Structure 1
Amino acid sequence: MKLLVNIDVPDVREAEAFYIRAFGLTPARRFGDDGVELLGFEVPLYLLRKEAGSVGAGDSRRRYGRHWTPVHCDVVVDDLDAALARALEAGATQETPLRQADWGRIVTLADPYGHGWCLLQFLGRGYDEIATP
């Protein structure tokens, strides 16, 4: 089994530039003007052009202002401060202050299309610090 991550965006070229600058991803395959495959995470990331207002799921319409979804991506980095600076410079919006937990550090962001992201830096044993037996 393999996991693919697809992100709907209104403009593939603009989104591609953001994700390359923010996370250091590398473009791979292109699908005309409607999609691009980006590599660099443990799973491929696909940016797919979908017009704002088009049907997303059920009766829901796509909108690219900040929105909430119960599914989001965490990006684990070695240096949270450097990764945050890079993402902000690329156009992300920081939504919360940096926070320290028993397992590491976290900050939440939104990309220019309203999708939520978390940047994580594991410290010590990472999630094993809080795992229950």
Structure 2
Amino acid sequence: MKLLLNLDVPDLAAAERFYVDAFGLRPARRFGADVVELLGADAPVYLLRKEPGSTGAGTARRDYSRHWTPLHCDVVVADLDAALARALAAGARQEGGVREAAWGRIVALADPFGHGWCLLQFLGRGYDEIAT
């Protein structure tokens, strides 16, 4: 299986700047004026320019304020504090404090377009610290 991550955004140029600055992704191909492919993660990220209020999933209308979805993405980083500073400088909003667990450290963020993200730093053996 090959995974692609598609994110609807209202402003393609602003979204591209955010994801390049916050997570170190790099622009690759462009598909017309409304889609850019970003590489540098394990899965390509596609930013799709979609107008606020246009139909999203089902009958739901796109709203780029912070929203909840049952799916979010974790960005695994080597240094959580440095990655958090970089994401905040790029325009992310931190949601709560950094939490620590036996497997590592995590912090929740929202991008400027309402998508939820977590920065995750594995410590020790990572998830193997708690695997049964």
**TM-score interval w.r.t. the shorter chain?**
over 0.9
Look up the match of 1:35. 35
Gaps of 5+ in 2: none
Q: 1:18-39 deviations in whole A, cap 9, x for unaligned?
A: 0000001000000121100000
Look up the match of 2:78. 78
Deviation at 1:85, TM superposition (A): 0.1
State the one-letter code of the partner of 1:74: D
Q: In structure 2, what is the Cα distance between the partners aligned to 1:45 and 1:89?
A: 21
Q: In structure 1, what is the Cα distance between the partners aligned to 2:39 and 2:52?
A: 25
State the one-letter code of the partner of 1:129: E
Look up the match of 1:23. 23
Look up the match of 2:100. 100
List structure 1 segments (4+ residues) > 4 angstroms apart after TM superposition: none
| Alignment of 1:56 onto 2:56 | yes
| Alignment of 1:12 onto 2:18 | no
Q: 1:36-63 deviations in whole A, cap 9, x for unaligned?
A: 0000100000000111101111111110
State the one-letter code of the partner of 1:27: P
Q: In structure 1, what is the Cα distance between the partners aligned to 2:97 and 2:75?
A: 16
Look up the match of 2:87. 87
Gaps of 5+ in 1: none
Q: In structure 1, what is the Cα distance between the partners aligned to 2:76 and 2:31?
A: 28
CA RMSD of aligned residues (A): 0.5
Deviation at 1:96, TM superposition (A): 1.0
SS in 1 for 2:42: coil
SS in 2 for 1:99: strand
Q: In structure 2, what is the Cα distance between the partners aligned to 1:122 and 1:40?
A: 19
Q: In structure 1, what is the Cα distance between the partners aligned to 2:51 and 2:92?
A: 21
Q: In structure 1, what is the Cα distance between the partners aligned to 2:48 and 2:58?
A: 19
What is the percent sequence identity of the aligned residues? Answer: 76
Deviation at 1:127, TM superposition (A): 0.5
